[in-house]
Amino acid sequence: MLTFRKVSKDAEVITLIRESDRQLEMLGYTEHGQRHARLVAKNARGVLRALDYDERLTELAAIAGYLHDIGNVVNRECHERTSAILARNVLLRLKMDYDEVAQVMAAIGNHHEETGNPVSEISAALILADKADVHRSRVRNPALIRFDIHDRVNYAVRSSSLTVDKEARKIVFKLRVDTSISSVMEYFEIFLSRMMISRRAADFLHCHYSLEINGNKLV
């Protein structure tokens, strides 16, 4: 069976991630390279593992996490759909089962907050992991944070973590925000839709989603 390890070493995939990130850099987006892909893979797997899902499902979540943004190589618009189609080609070439390819495609195609919905456990885990990657290391040029709200909010985030409490059925997203750089209000201004899809993803996994900023429970 195809493993995350094998997908992550594939030369075409590595190129697609690198080129997607380069294009998003041109458009002024935050980092979407290997760091983002690997972190989302790790956290998507971690969410399902913490809830005791089948080991193979956790592997598929990691694969979906690693590939979810490769469609940016074509265009940012509809990148979730392009990512799914490109992932299909890669996964079939690497001899993944058709059934698993379909599951990964559905998850990838639904990860974006504007068009997506949690449609499966893999999909829910991918959404939670992707929306939890907010951090100052994603900002490419800190000198410009005054001019861009996304950069400013990301730069203000000193630490972020996603934790799962299986017994309490709780998924907690914790952030430490430097409010001298960006206000909590600014965070909500740009990330409200991400928080809403995260809450629906947690619901799909029969968990309560909660958001803590600087020790205050906000949701």
Least distance from Fe ion to the Cβ atom of residue 169, Å: 25
Rule CB under 5 A: choose which of 121, 130, 175, 181 binds Fe ion.
130
Among positions 153-172, residues that touch Fe ion (CB under 5 A) are: none
Q: How many residues bind Fe ion (CB under 5 A)?
A: 2
Pick the piece of the chain touching Fe ion (CB under 5 A) from 12-20, 125-133, 150-158, 169-177: 125-133
> If you search the block for the tokens 């990657």, which residue do you land on?
133
Distance CA 29, CA 153 (A): 13
- Coil, strand, or helix at residue 190? helix
User: Is 69 an interacting residue with respect to Fe ion (CB under 5 A)?
Assistant: yes
Least distance from Fe ion to the Cβ atom of residue 108, Å: 9
Residue 217 CB neighbour total at 10 angstroms: 10
- Coil, strand, or helix at residue 52? coil
Least distance from Fe ion to the Cβ atom of residue 37, Å: 8
Least distance from Fe ion to the Cβ atom of residue 35, Å: 11
User: Is 59 an interacting residue with respect to Fe ion (CB under 5 A)?
Assistant: no
Pairing assessment for the beta strands 208-213 and 157-165 based on DSSP bridges: unpaired
- Coil, strand, or helix at residue 210? strand
Would you say 69 or 151 has its CB closer to Fe ion?
69
User: Is 21 an interacting residue with respect to Fe ion (CB under 5 A)?
Assistant: no
Contact letters for Fe ion, residues 170-209 (x by CB under 5 A): ----------------------------------------
Q: Are the CB atoms for 163 and 172 separated by under 8 Å?
A: yes
- What would the 3-class secondary structure string for 55-110 be? HHHHHHHHHHHHHCCHHHHCCCCCHHHHHHHHHHHHHHHCCCCHHHHHHHHHHHHC
Least distance from Fe ion to the Cβ atom of residue 49, Å: 20
Q: Which residues bind Fe ion (CB under 5 A)?
A: 69, 130
